[in-house]
Every structure is written in C-alpha cells, then in structure tokens.
Structure 1
Amino acid sequence: MTALAVKQRYIQSLPKYLTLCEHNYLRALKLLPNERKQGSTRQVQLGNSQFAIKVDGCAKYTMDISITQLTGMLAGFTPLFLTVRLYHDAKVAEIIHHDYHQRIKPSYGYPNPQMHQKDEKYQLNAFLYDWLVACVESGRSVLNWDVNNGLV
C-alpha cells in the first residue's frame, strides 16, 4: 500500500491576525510624534538602544511610519528597520516592509529559496507587538506636553 503525502498550504487565522493588528494600532498611536505630519520624528530609548519613529506619509485613511534603530546595535546584526502602515478607518497597523526588503506576502510556500517561514507576516507583526509593548511599558521618550494648554 502506498501512502500519499498530503501537502497542506498554510492558512492564516484572520481573526487572530486582525486582533494582533488592532493591538499594534493602539500601541503605535501612543508612540507617534506629537505633530503627526510627514517628516515628524520621535525618539524612544529602550534599554541601551535608541529608536526613531518617523512619519513617512499621511493620507486620509492611512499613515506610514518607519521605525529605525539609531544606537545599541550588536556587531554582526543589521539595525532594526520597519515600515508600518496604520489604517485609521479599520484601526489596524501592520508591517509592510522590514529591513529594507520588499512587501511581505501573507504566506510563503515551504521550503523556499529566501528561507521565509510559512507565517512570516504574522511573526513579524507579533514581533512588532512585543516591541511596542516594551516601548510603551518600559521605554523613555521626551514628551512635549503643554501643561497650560496654551492658556498662558
């Protein structure tokens, strides 16, 4: 008797992915520069590393931001670089580029020449979630609060 190997494609759980992207959106809003226009930047210190969050583009329903590692790089590793798109109408945020690579596919066949995981997009957004949580809970940033609300 011969056994046939059934090759199943990876199918992402959409509710799980959207929940992750909603959490990323809420936390990313807390780290955006005060002035949310193109070119605005905010720096965040996390441990010994410093990161810059820059608004790359604004549209009616979306905003593209880039997260770049400025200091604290380890020898032999490339500094962190992520491009994140925030969708204001859906209230979700997801990584659209990482480490200067092209767009990320929802899933990849496995094995593949680039050695991507089947759920690479989900894993990258899960990393973004962990990074945002660390920044919001433990990060330091200069806050430009106007305590008088412009009254004085």
Structure 2
Amino acid sequence: MKQKYRPKLPDFLSLCERNFAQLLPLLPAKLAVGQQLVIGLDDDHFYRIDVLEVCPFTTVVQIRALHEQRWSVVQPTFDVRLYHDARLAEVIGCHGVRYFKAVYDYPNTDMLQPDEKRQVNRLLSDWLQLCRRQGFQAEPVLG
C-alpha cells in the first residue's frame, strides 16, 4: 500500500527561500501597485511581471507569458507572494488555482497531486533558473 504524502516543511521553506533569492533581482528596488516589468528570455519568449499588492511585509506579483507561443505548450501563470521579513516567495496561484493546500487527497475532483503546492513552487524555481541561465533582460513597461 502506498504511503500518504507528508510535506517536509524544512525542504519547502528552503525552496521558497531560493525562489525569493532568484525572484528579487527581477523586481525593481521600489515596488508600487500597478508596476509592470517585461522579461525577455530571447527574441520569442517574453513574460510580464505585474505588481498586484504591496504591504509593509509582503508583495504579491503575477508572472505570465505576454503572448501564447507558436507551439501548443501551456505557459504557466504564477501568482507569487513575497514575504520580505522571512525572505520567502511562495506561489499562491497557478493556472487558475488559488491558495494551494499543503496536502490533497488523491484522487480528487480537480486531479491535483498530493504535493501540488510543492510542485508549483518547484515549477516557479525552474522558471527562475531558466531566466538566470538565459541571461534575461528586464525592462519596465512605460506608459
């Protein structure tokens, strides 16, 4: 019989710490609601970061592809909450799912994996590593 998934909090917090450290260089030093930044990975792949919420200790940003790519690959849209005092970045929404539970029963009606929360944060980590490897160019959206 398969064992029930049990989250490992230290591993998850380490992942969120790494995401914070990699996401912070993409953001302007002074954050304000409504700010937008375009990230260009190459001539065909552009993403936009929108600042949705700024509070004394947290910021919420949305990261999404600017245009659908030529092939039929689903481009992730991340809603990420940055906890500045704890130096953590956690995905709070991805592909229309908001506020992930730590563990899901499986199977479930939405077909989310038992460790869905960890998986979407790992996906953000992979995207941030891609930005770093590609030598992203970030430009503020003027207007």
Q: TM-score, normalised by structure 2?
A: 0.87
Contact preservation (8 Å) 2:40, 2:46:
yes
Distance 1:33 1:80 in 2: 22
Q: Which amino acid aligns with 1:71?
A: H
Choose 65-74 or 104-113, whichever is displaced more.
65-74
Query: Is the aligned partner of 1:80 residue 2:76?
Result: yes
Q: Does structure 2 retain, via aligned residues, the 8 Å contact 1:33–1:41?
A: no
Identity across the alignment (%) = 35
Task: Write out the 4+ residue segments of structure 1 that deviate beyond 4 Å after TM superposition.
Answer: 74-78
Question: For each residue in 1:48-90, what CA deviation from the matched residue of structure 2 results, as whole angstroms up to 9, or x when unmatched?
Answer: 2110011111001100000011124255554421100000111
Compare relative contact order (CA 8 Å, sep 6+) and give the higher one, 1 or 2: 2
What is the CA–CA distance in structure 1 between the aligned matches of 2:70 and 2:99, rounded to whole Å? Answer: 25
What is the match of residue 13 of structure 1? 8
| Partner residue, 1:124 | 120
Q: Which has the larger radius of gyration?
A: 1
* Count of equivalent residues: 139
Q: Which residue of 2 aligns with 1:53?
A: 49
Please say if residues 81 and 91 of structure 2, whose CA atoms lie closer than 8 Å, have aligned partners that are also in contact.
yes
Greater mean deviation of Cα atoms: 74-83 or 12-21: 74-83
Do residues 65 (structure 1) and 61 (structure 2) align? yes
* Structure 2 stretches lacking a partner, 5+ long: none
Pairwise CA RMSD: 1.9
Asked if the contact 1:22/1:91 (under 8 Å) is kept, the reply is yes
Q: Offset at 1:143?
A: 5.3
Q: Distance in 2 between matches of 1:98 and 1:142?
A: 22
**Residue number in structure 2 paired with 1:148:** none
